[in-house]
Amino acid sequence: MPLKTKEEYIESLRRLKKKVYLFGKEIENYVDHPIIRPSINACAMTYELALQPEYEELLTAVSNLTGEKINRFTHLHQSTDDLIKKVKMQRLLGQKTGCCFQRCVGFDGFNAVDSVTFEMDRDLGTEYNKRFRNYLKYVQENDLVVDGAMTDTKGDRKLAPSEQKDPDQFVHIVEKKQDGIVVRGAKAHQTGAINSHEILVMPTQTMREADKDYAVSFAIPADADGIIYIYGRQSCDTRRFEEGDIDVGNAMYGGQEALIVFNDVFVPWERVFMCGEYQYSGALVERFAGYHRQSYGGCKSGVGDVLIGAAQAIAKIQGIEKASHVKDKLIEMTHMNETIYACGIACSAEGRPTDSGTYLIDLMLANVCKLHVTQLPYLIARLAQDIAGGLVVTLPSEQDFKNPEVGKYLEKYFKSVNIYSTEDRCRIQRLIENLTLGMGAVGYLTESLHGAGSPQAQKIMIGRLANFERKAELAEELAGIKRI
């Protein structure tokens, strides 16, 4: 059965020889590094839950390629039911980790690459889909984490890839050989890259003919020669070096982003899925972005559940849970959180099969989902801080609580409702700080804004799909206007 345990997943990462840099140094053992390990733990949850009978239906699927039971994160959606289960699975994982668990980007990449390569083969007589499906079978059989790498560094945003002063600002083909291609460039903000076994590269935007060397999609092992990872630091990350676990807020789990540098990396032909067919780059970007905008309806509502729960907990610990304005704020937070989730479910329920048989979400509703996600978590976070009070930013450190001179004063003056300890109060305050200002805010807030495309990208898609003329016709007909 191709399902790994979480321990097997973590051990499998140790076998990869990756070049990882953090704080100016190459990290020998990144698996046990205090800043990196929580992100591995979060990704490992996708393995742990898949083996628990109560979550089997959400976390696993039957592969349409092999007929085997596989982890859902490696599946091609075969129905709207698959699309809905994906969102439910992501909400569950957000609830269990309180952060980004990273495995969705490759998952969304698989589904986008599958339908687009199918259409390329049909129209052009290429064999990209056959190659891709062979590759995906390998991923499914080995239960791998694959980083879906789309975002290029982009240089001067006014200029197309081929117009840039530095041609490496977008990942591109530098050489075509008999046995494969050589690529160069970098992908930025790569979620879970260091925790992945493989990298699936896709173009970052619609390419034109002049940019066809930039219309490239391929997969490579994450420790292939020429790849370097530079870890993206997060707000308050060095707290993970401190003694104790209270001040980090979420000691066990965290997200991860890195810059991946491709220094003349060789990719064999059997792992190349687009090589210059610029006319298909737009569809690939649009579908990948659509799937990832759906994803946020699941993962962000799951983390939202944790933040709403933390707000309810701190209200009880501080004795304000019966105040009507607090109840009203919790209801408002829930209303916004469920709005995000509802959009994720709606775009899934309205999904349709593509020509390859793989189901695609409704793109309009997925974009509406993500546009809500760029706003509502910030409003939910504001209400959580409102309920928590100023302590969320003024609480002394865990070390001060342990200090023999002043610890007793902190215990005394920060005691609130009797049945809770002062430590309970600190732990919840720190969790709210983590999710709204610290490491957790990377995933819950800024990633909600920019991940899967910044708000303007969703507005462009919504504008394109809205069909304002059709709406005008409806109005004109009712108003009795006759078009000439």
- Count of residues engaged in binding Fe ion, rule: CB under 5 A: 2
| Closer residue to ligand SF4, CB minimum distance, 290 or 451 | 451
Report the residue from 447, 453, 457, 461 that binds ligand SF4 according to the rule CB under 6 A. Answer: 447
Report the residue from 10, 202, 299, 391 that binds ligand SF4 according to the rule CB under 6 A. Answer: 299
- 210-218, 355-363, 370-378, 446-454 -> range binding Fe ion (CB under 5 A): 446-454
- Assign residue 403 a region: left if phi > 0, alpha if psi is -120 to 50, beta otherwise? beta
Question: Is residue 102 close enough to count as binding ligand SF4 by CB under 6 A?
Answer: yes
Two structure tokens written together for 39: 């992100």
User: CB under 5 to 8 A by kind: which of Fe ion, ligand SF4, none does 128 bind?
Assistant: none
Q: Which of 100, 275, 347, 426 is catalytic?
A: 100
**Is 299 one of the catalytic residues?**
yes
Residue 407-446 contact track with ligand SF4, rule CB under 6 A, x = bound: ------------------------------------x---
- 295-303, 321-329, 345-353, 373-381 -> range binding ligand SF4 (CB under 6 A): 295-303
Residue type, 195: N
| Closer residue to ligand SF4, CB minimum distance, 377 or 451 | 451
Q: Which of 47, 153, 198, 257 is catalytic?
A: 257
Cβ contact 307:381 at 8 Å: yes
**For residue 64, with 0-12 CB atoms within 10 Å meaning exposed, 13-18 middle and 19 or more buried, which class applies?**
middle
> Alpha helices of 276-406 — where are they, by DSSP H?
281-317, 324-349, 363-373, 376-388, 391-394, 398-402
**How far apart are alpha carbons 17 and 27 in whole angstroms?**
11
- Per-residue burial over 156-194, b = 16 or more CB atoms within 10 Å of its CB, e = otherwise: eeeeebbebeebbbbbbbeeeeeebbebbbbbbbbbbbb
Question: Is residue 100 close enough to count as binding ligand SF4 by CB under 6 A?
Answer: yes
Beta bridge partners of 266: 182
Residue 65 DSSP one-character state: T
Question: Could you give the C-alpha distances from 189 to 109, 230, 282, in angstroms and in order?
Answer: 16, 10, 21
| Closer residue to ligand SF4, CB minimum distance, 185 or 255 | 255
No. of helices (H) and no. of strands (E), the chain: 18, 14
Two structure tokens written together for 140: 């499914």
3-class DSSP state of 73? helix
Question: Is residue 297 close enough to count as binding Fe ion by CB under 5 A?
Answer: no
Residue reference for tokens 């982003």: 257
**Is 257 one of the catalytic residues?**
yes
Q: Which of 46, 77, 99, 104 is catalytic?
A: 104
Two structure tokens written together for 209: 């003919």
Question: Is residue 304 close enough to count as binding Fe ion by CB under 5 A?
Answer: no
**How far apart are alpha carbons 211 and 369 in whole angstroms?**
31
Question: Is residue 147 close enough to count as binding ligand SF4 by CB under 6 A?
Answer: no
Report the residue from 153, 191, 356, 385 that binds ligand SF4 according to the rule CB under 6 A. Answer: 191
Give, for 211, the enclosing helix (H) or strand (E). Answer: none
User: CB under 5 to 8 A by kind: which of ligand SF4, Fe ion, none does 290 bind?
Assistant: none
Q: Which of 296, 341, 359, 444 is catalytic?
A: 296
Report the residue from 451, 457, 458, 461 that binds Fe ion according to the rule CB under 5 A. Answer: 451
User: CB under 5 to 8 A by kind: which of ligand SF4, Fe ion, none does 272 bind?
Assistant: none
Which residue, 102, 75, 90, 114, is CA-closest to 343? 90
Which residue, 253, 309, 251, is CA-closest to 45? 253
The CB-of-96 to ligand SF4 minimum distance in angstroms stands at 11
3-class DSSP state of 417? coil
**Is 163 one of the catalytic residues?**
no
User: CB under 5 to 8 A by kind: which of ligand SF4, Fe ion, none does 296 bind?
Assistant: ligand SF4
- Count of residues engaged in binding ligand SF4, rule: CB under 6 A: 12
**Is 191 one of the catalytic residues?**
yes
3-class DSSP state of 159? coil
Going by DSSP bridges, is the β-strand pair 19-22/25-26 parallel, antiparallel, or unpaired? antiparallel
- Per-residue burial over 382-412, b = 16 or more CB atoms within 10 Å of its CB, e = otherwise: ebbbebbeebbeebbbbeebeeeeebeebee
Cβ contact 219:198 at 8 Å: yes
The CB-of-257 to ligand SF4 minimum distance in angstroms stands at 10
Report the residue from 44, 104, 236, 326 that binds ligand SF4 according to the rule CB under 6 A. Answer: 104
**Is 153 one of the catalytic residues?**
no
The CB-of-205 to Fe ion minimum distance in angstroms stands at 17
Report the residue from 140, 164, 204, 295 that binds ligand SF4 according to the rule CB under 6 A. Answer: 295
Contacts (CB under 5 A) with Fe ion, residues 167-226:
191
**Is 43 one of the catalytic residues?**
no
User: CB under 5 to 8 A by kind: which of Fe ion, ligand SF4, none does 217 bind?
Assistant: none
User: CB under 5 to 8 A by kind: which of Fe ion, ligand SF4, none does 273 bind?
Assistant: none
- 24-32, 100-108, 130-138, 309-317 -> range binding ligand SF4 (CB under 6 A): 100-108
Residues that bind Fe ion (CB under 5 A): 191, 451
Q: Which residues are marked as active site?
A: 100, 104, 191, 257, 292, 296, 299, 447
Residues that bind ligand SF4 (CB under 6 A): 100-102, 104-105, 191, 295-296, 299, 443, 447, 451
